[in-house]
Amino acid sequence: MKKILVAVDDSKGSKSVLSVFKNLVRPPEKVILLHVERLLGGSLMIDMLGEAELSTLRESLKGTEYKEELDRKAENILSYYRKELENSGLITIKTVIRDGIPAEEILKVAEEEGVDLIVTGFNEKQGVHRLITGCVSKEVERNANVPVLVAKDTADEKVYDWKEAVAKA
């Protein structure tokens, strides 16, 4: 495999991507490390917006403190995963920050970058939340043109403390 897209966020399920990636995947020539900012946080509404509405939302958030905080958080997340992957011997890592609907953005970046594999974490959602928003990894798996490796959270993984990392930044 030449290029692998690794989609990450600040969840426990995403943390498991590191373990699976380090232990199961032969090192590729290049890793595209992607984080998708959810412009409305955990809101269920974001997944229901069309491209025109998302574009308007993006414009209205430009330059706001909220968007700057999202960007800082994204940089911290990507910095953490970049260091972890570099420590495991990977040299060529490209980081990408997108905003919008995670599954759609993961698929777009995979297509744009011409990746051979997508690696993503699995986050267990429950009840109505899962019914309405679905599952990002399942959506990616269903619509990707390349193989998708979904890493599930394991109990022995250390949970990364994002608040501590932001405080240090």
- In angstroms, the CA 47 to CA 45 distance is 5
- 154 pLDDT higher than 80: no
CA atoms within 13 A on the CB side of 43: 12
More confident residue, 25 or 82: 82
CA atoms within 13 A on the CB side of 61: 19
Mean of pLDDT values over 58-85? 89
For residue 105, the SS3 value is helix
What global pTM score does this model have?
Answer: 0.76
Q: Which residue has the tokens 């698929």?
A: 107
Cβ proximity of 106 and 36 under 8 Å: yes
pLDDT confidence tier of residue 168, bands split at 50, 70 and 90 = low
What CA–CA distances, in Å, run from 139 to 39, 51, 85, 98, 119? 19, 18, 25, 17, 13
- 53 pLDDT higher than 60: yes
pLDDT confidence tier of residue 117, bands split at 50, 70 and 90 = very high
Cβ proximity of 10 and 73 under 8 Å: yes
Mean of pLDDT values over 29-41? 85
CATH of 3-159, one of 3.40.50.620, 3.30.1540.10, 3.30.70.20, 2.60.120.260: 3.40.50.620
